[in-house]
Amino acid sequence: MTIPKQLKIGGILVDVKFVDDEDINKDCGEANFKTNTIKISNRLNGNNLELTLLHEMIHHIDPAMSESRVELYSRALYQALKDNNFI
């Protein structure tokens, strides 16, 4: 999967940036609503990269959603997309 440099989420353009781990406050990725940015660790690849992007996109869709719920939805949706050959 090719990761775009910019996504449109809910009508808002969101920049996708690959950064060093020191530039992320979380494990693998970070959603910033003030700057409309998703940061992803540049050490990720394959399934972990795709899952992290989907996870951060869900944060942008619903910023109020709990981390555990975002994790649940991102993993379930990612698996469904994978199993049905969408990604």
Share of the chain above pLDDT 90, in %: 87
Tens of pLDDT, residue by residue over 13-70, are 999 999 988 888 778 999 999 999 999 999 999 999 999 999 999 999 999 999 999 9
pLDDT (0 to 100) of residue 68: 96
What residue ranges do the domains of the chain occupy? 6-83
Which residues lie closer than 8 Å to 38 by C-beta, 6 or more apart?
A: 7, 14, 15, 16, 17, 29, 30, 31, 32, 53, 56, 57, 60
- Residue 18: predicted pLDDT: 95
Residue 1 has pLDDT above 80, yes or no: no
**pTM for this one?**
0.91
